Structure 1
């Protein structure tokens, strides 16, 4: 009678609670984060660009939607479906999900069917057994529950990493797209200069016939045309390679024939001066590390529980039969057994204790990795903002320089007509103008890239578009 009551009491404890199991509360996790050595060494400046009070919903994303084009949106959607890395990552996430379900199964009894037969070669007797066996480890200390929750936290961590991969692929597609557009603009620009130089060559041929130009002038122009054509071939090859990269990112065969537009969309919206801190906290990599902290929190509990005694309940229901006359039917001898076992580690060379120390060290490591990720996120935002501000200033100076060079070239052409200047000076100034115009194209491209970088640094809500 007492034995039955004890078994029922143990079962009720196992079903309703785990004595050693604890949930990782927000206070516990924050306490772990506050103990970070990396975070303790970082001083937040007074002119911090993040605002703790502002809600993320109030932030305007016009500065990133300026980059939106119908073709880019189609390419990103295509990449989300067919990109090779995303397809592989999807299967990895599926494996983690299945592993999570396996971890949860340890909380429930396991049942197995057993069938065997044995022969005594001396007496020629034969015994046959058929049974169902069930065993259940009562999770008194929360070891199995902690293992299950660690697996769940790992799943959500990997899921956030998967989201980050989607965001990164979308950003890479957008960058490759704008890189190709910049290449198209550069091709058009160089072709235009080649055509202008050829027109100048025709003019000097006419002037040579009438004696106002010489062979040196024509040689200078011919050398410039050859140089520009070589430069054009270099740009065309680079542009073809950028198209191949874009095709590969979207899951297409990289044949380098994807056509994109030949101009940048105008940027109309300015970058905000400050951002809600909530954006940084919701970054996919930050969230992934947050769930990793939860995972190691559970793993510490699991390691501690492994040092404590474990209790297992087992039972079997079956029957036996034999060719011996006294036991002649397998169905005439039903068997029912119920039992329990208590196992406690006594000596294992300190392995379980060391395992607890390892898990505690791993917990500290993950907390420091979290702090490093936060620090890197701050650096990415600060760097992108600083780069954007610098690029805008450089573009302003560059446009002014281009205007002055164009005016200077017009004056030089007039001087050539009246014979007070020569082709070498004009070619040199045209080369300077081309250099500045190519630099402006690169600056406009960099502006697009840094806006994408800033968007990624702030969490890339809905991938590349809000």
Structure 2
């Protein structure tokens, strides 16, 4: 018996080892360039840090993201998906090891002997016997994974677990990006509200001047009515900007896991653009982005499940062993004189399954091809996101420079028009038009500043946001 258990122990060490599948190569058939076509970035040898948002040097933003990562409910759900995948991997891998159970049983049996002429039966009545037995045993069942079916099943589950880990890290990355962009949107909304209010106040000052001149008979009713329309329109814009500001603050509070009460304090102005970041090489992108790692792990799991389906056609070998004691008295259960044991082997070869095994192989292979196609599509999208984000940096920088100049000139033109109207050398149409152009130019300038910051966040996310550093 000891020799049998020694053989079993050695077999467990040989046949129960399973590990996650190796990393799969990129499935993209077209040639990936050695550098990004949208432009180069400095210090490509460096990597993006996991806390990339600190490049903006905003302590309040850092605090907000810390709270979001701690309290956001979607992130908590992603963390539980990791735990579920881990438990599933344990469940799938359990059959690799012998299944051991402890049994304790007791039985009492009564039997009558009728129609048997047994000598010494006395008065000729029915003879009977009553027997009581007790037993304790250790039972072992184990399927020897000779062909690797169970090991590949465990490997697929481990790949799923690694995919869930990448999904959780991707959720953290996405949440930090959403929080950062929501913070910038709230700041812009506040600045747009301030601009709308100052513009309305400016319109009101000009309207008071026109009102005074109209009452003095110096300006016609048309000037006053156009000015009043300008003030009313500005009031409507203030209400619109206030609504947008309120909504942006509430959205940010939801990301932080707070009740959306629109009570969060918002910074007064947008941040300056940080220094350029290292974009790395296109060939390294698969290891830097969590969504690509998820797609790659799905391919690895699909490959393992194809092996599982093919090995299901091979015979399965199972071992069953039991050892313990059996006695009519409880006191004898621990005695070596009442030991009983058994050992059996079983080989089962599938012969006819109604096409189930072949269909299982076709299903696994179809899922494998589907995972490969999805991986290739996701990789191309990832390359495209990086290229687009790099180009957006250039386009938005040019737009910001142009809108800055346009805003400065529009404000100067408004001041000049107001001065000329006050001196009576310009008409009200020119005045009101210059006011609206100045307001529009300043608003567009605020928007493009926020868009540049958003584009930088998009570039961080497209490059994996420090995921490669964790990996």
Q: 1:106 aligns with which of 95, 103, 106?
A: 95
TM-score normalised over the length of structure 1: 0.85
2:240 aligned with 1:234: yes
Match of 2:121 in 1: none
**Aligned-partner Cα distance in 1 for 2:424–2:307:** 91
Shift, 1:125, TM fit: 4.1
**Aligned-partner Cα distance in 2 for 1:399–1:342:** 80
Match of 2:162 in 1: 156
**Aligned-partner Cα distance in 2 for 1:219–1:328:** 111
**Aligned-partner Cα distance in 1 for 2:43–2:425:** 66
**Aligned-partner Cα distance in 2 for 1:166–1:114:** 48
Q: How many residues align?
A: 448
Shift, 1:246, TM fit: 0.6
Alignment of 1:154-193 (within 5 A): 154-193=160-199
| 1:118-161 superposed Cα distances (whole Å, 9 cap, x missing partner) | 56575374554533211111111112222222222211111011
Match of 1:393 in 2: 398
Match of 1:267 in 2: 273
**Aligned-partner Cα distance in 2 for 1:273–1:140:** 47
Cα distance 1:50–1:301, how it changes in 2: closer, same or farther (>3 A)?
farther
Q: 1:380 aligns with which of 382, 385, 389?
A: 385
Cα distance 1:415–1:10, how it changes in 2: closer, same or farther (>3 A)?
closer
Q: Is the 8 A contact 1:50 1:275 kept in 2?
A: no
Match of 1:49 in 2: 37
Tell which deviates more after alignment, 213-222 or 440-449: 213-222
**Aligned-partner Cα distance in 2 for 1:69–1:369:** 38
**Aligned-partner Cα distance in 2 for 1:273–1:234:** 39
2:348 aligned with 1:360: no
Shift, 1:366, TM fit: 1.4
Structure 1: runs of 5 or more not aligned: none
Cα distance 1:371–1:127, how it changes in 2: closer, same or farther (>3 A)?
farther
* 3-state secondary structure, aligned to 1:58: coil
Alignment of 1:41-440 (within 5 A): 42-44=30-32, 48-49=36-37, 57-58=45-46, 66-116=55-105, 123=112, 125=130, 128-130=133-135, 131-267=137-273, 269-270=275-276, 275=281, 277-321=283-327, 333-440=338-445
Q: Is the 8 A contact 1:281 1:287 kept in 2?
A: yes
**Aligned-partner Cα distance in 2 for 1:73–1:45:** 35
* 3-state secondary structure, aligned to 1:373: helix
Match of 2:465 in 1: 460
Match of 1:16 in 2: 14
Cα distance 1:305–1:224, how it changes in 2: closer, same or farther (>3 A)?
same
**Aligned-partner Cα distance in 1 for 2:414–2:43:** 53
Q: Is the 8 A contact 1:49 1:275 kept in 2?
A: no
Shift, 1:204, TM fit: 2.0
The structure with the largest alpha-carbon Rg is: 2
**Aligned-partner Cα distance in 1 for 2:332–2:286:** 73
Match of 2:120 in 1: none
**Aligned-partner Cα distance in 1 for 2:204–2:221:** 15
Shift, 1:328, TM fit: 12
**Aligned-partner Cα distance in 1 for 2:441–2:252:** 27
Shift, 1:196, TM fit: 0.9
Shift, 1:349, TM fit: 1.2
**Aligned-partner Cα distance in 2 for 1:74–1:422:** 52
Q: Is the 8 A contact 1:63 1:267 kept in 2?
A: no
Q: Is the 8 A contact 1:63 1:268 kept in 2?
A: no
Shift, 1:208, TM fit: 2.8
**Aligned-partner Cα distance in 2 for 1:415–1:22:** 81
Shift, 1:240, TM fit: 0.9
Q: Is the 8 A contact 1:72 1:174 kept in 2?
A: yes
**Aligned-partner Cα distance in 1 for 2:396–2:304:** 47
* 3-state secondary structure, aligned to 2:56: coil
* 3-state secondary structure, aligned to 2:437: helix
Tell which deviates more after alignment, 8-17 or 378-387: 8-17
Q: CA RMSD in A?
A: 3.4
Tell which deviates more after alignment, 389-398 or 108-117: 108-117
* 3-state secondary structure, aligned to 2:261: coil
Cα distance 1:372–1:126, how it changes in 2: closer, same or farther (>3 A)?
farther
**Aligned-partner Cα distance in 1 for 2:457–2:424:** 51
TM-score normalised over the length of structure 2: 0.84
Shift, 1:269, TM fit: 2.5
